[in-house]
Amino acid sequence: MSDYIRRLPVYLLLDCSGSMSGEPIEAVKQGIKTLISELKGDPQALETAFLSIITFDSSARQISPLTELMLFKEPQIQAGGATALGGALKVLAECIKNEVHTSTATQKGDWKPLVFLMTDGAPTDNIDEGIDALKQVSTGNIIACGAGANANANTLKKITNNVLMMNNLTAGDMAQFFAWVSSSIKASSKSIDAKPGEAIELPPPPQGFVIVP
Amino acid sequence: MLSGTVLQAVLENGNTIEYVYDANAPRGGMKHTFFTPDKQFAIQFFNDPKNAADPRMQDRIRTIVGIYNPTLSEADGGAVGNTDKTAGYFRQRFCWPLAIVRQPEFGIVCPTYPRNFFFGSDASTVLNLKGKDKKSNWFTGRNRKYLSPDERGNFRTMLGTAIGLSRTVRRMHQAGLAHSDLSCNNVLIDPRTGASVVIDIDSLVVPNKYAPEVVGTRGYIAPEVLATLGLDFNDPRRALPCVQTDLHALPVLIYEYLFFRHPLIGPKIYDPNDAERDDFLGLGEKATFIENPNDVSNRPPDLDVTIKSLSKGLEELFIRAFVNGLHDPAERPTAMEWERELLRAWDKLVPCDNSRCEKKWFILRDAQNPVCPFCKTRKNGKITQMLFKSEMRGRKGVFRDKGELVVYDKLPLYDWHVYSNIHNDEKANTDIAAYIAFYNGMKLLVNQNIDGMLSPSGRLVPKGSAVELKDGAAFKMTGGENGLLCEVAVSG
CB contact under 8 Å between B142 and A5, yes or no, is yes
From its phi and psi, is residue B88 left (phi > 0), alpha (psi between -120 and 50) or beta? alpha
Pairing of strands B485-491, B474-476: antiparallel
> Looking at the structure, do residues B105 and B126 belong to the same domain, yes or no?
no
HSE-up of residue A108 (Cα within 13 Å, Cβ side): 22
Partners of B442 in the beta sheet?
Answer: B439
User: Residue B214's closest CA among B187, B184, B240?
Assistant: B240
> How far from the centroid of its chain's Cα atoms is residue A23's Cα?
20
Contacts of B473 (CB under 8 A, 6+ apart): B456, B467, B487, B488
Q: What are the Cα distances from residue B197, in Å, to A172, B149, B182, B464? A: 36, 22, 11, 37
Tell me which chain B residues have a C-beta less than 8 angstroms from the C-beta of A104: 269, 272
Are B8 and B47 found together in one domain? yes
Residue B468: CATH number of its domain: 2.60.200.20
The alpha carbons of chain B give a radius of gyration, in whole angstroms, of 25
Interatomic CA distance for residues A9 and A137, integer angstroms: 13
In a domain, A199, yes or no: no
- Rounded Cα–Cα distance for residues A4 and B268 (Å): 10
The pLDDT tens digits along chain A (213 residues) read 456 888 999 999 999 999 999 988 998 999 999 999 989 999 989 999 999 999 999 999 999 999 999 999 999 999 999 999 999 999 999 999 999 998 888 888 898 899 999 999 889 999 999 999 999 998 878 989 998 888 888 999 999 988 888 877 788 888 888 888 888 888 777 764 445 545 556 777 776 677 776
Looking at the fold, whether B328 and B400 belong to one and the same domain comes out as no
Judge if B170 and B108 occupy the same domain: no
B129 and B90, same domain (yes or no)? no
pTM summary value = 0.93
Say yes or no: B101 and B164 in one domain: no
**3-state class (DSSP) for residue B38:** coil
Whether residue B277 lies within 8 A of chain A, CB to CB, comes out as: yes
Q: Judge: A192–B280 Cβ closer than 8 Å, yes or no.
A: yes
What confidence score (pLDDT) does residue B397 get? 82
Structural domain that includes position A122: 8-193+205-212
Residue A206 burial (CB count, 10 A) = 18
CATH number at residue B268: 1.10.510.10
CATH number at residue A27: 3.40.50.410
Divide the 492 residues of chain B into consecutive groups of 10 and give the mean pLDDT of each group.
92 94 82 93 91 90 92 90 93 94 94 93 93 94 93 97 98 94 94 95 86 83 92 90 96 98 95 88 96 97 96 98 98 98 98 96 95 96 96 85 96 97 94 97 96 96 97 96 96 83
Beta-carbon separation of B141 and A193 below 8 A: no
Interchain contact, B278 vs A108, CB within 8 Å: yes
User: Given B29, B275, B304, which is nearest A103 (Cβ)?
Assistant: B275
Are B81 and B174 found together in one domain? no
Structurally, chain B folds into a number of domains equal to: 3
Q: Which pLDDT score, from 0 to 100, does residue B210 have? A: 83
Q: Is A196–B135 a contact, with Cβ atoms under 8 angstroms apart?
A: no
What residues in A contact B200, CB-CB < 8 Å?
Answer: none
**Cα–Cα nearest to B186, from B211, B203, B163:** B203
In B, which residues are within 8 Å of A6 by CB distance? 275, 279
Within an 8 Å CB–CB cutoff, is residue B405 touching chain A?
A: no
- Strand pairing partners for A114? A10
Tell me whether residue A87 is in a domain.
yes
Task: Give chain B positions within 8 Å (CB) of A187.
Answer: 29
Rounded to whole angstroms, the Cα distance separating B417 from B403 reads 9
Assess if residue B366 is contained within a domain.
no
Q: Examine the domain organization and report whether B300 and B398 are in the same domain.
A: no
- At B362, the amino acid letter reads F
Residues B307 and B453 in one domain: no
Contact A103 B24 (CB under 8 A): no
Task: Note the pLDDT of residue B209.
Answer: 86
The CA radius of gyration of chain A, in Å to the nearest whole number, is 16
Identify the sign of the CA torsion B429, B313, B307, A191.
negative
Q: For residues B342 and B421, state if they share a domain.
A: no
The verdict on a CB contact (< 8 Å) between A105 and B261 is no
**Tens digit of pLDDT for each residue in B78-130?**
898 899 999 999 999 999 999 999 999 999 999 999 899 999 999 999 999 99
Residue (of A44, A43, A37, A153) closest to B128 by Cα position = A37
Any A CB within 8 A of B23 CB? yes
How many independent structural domains does chain A possess? 1
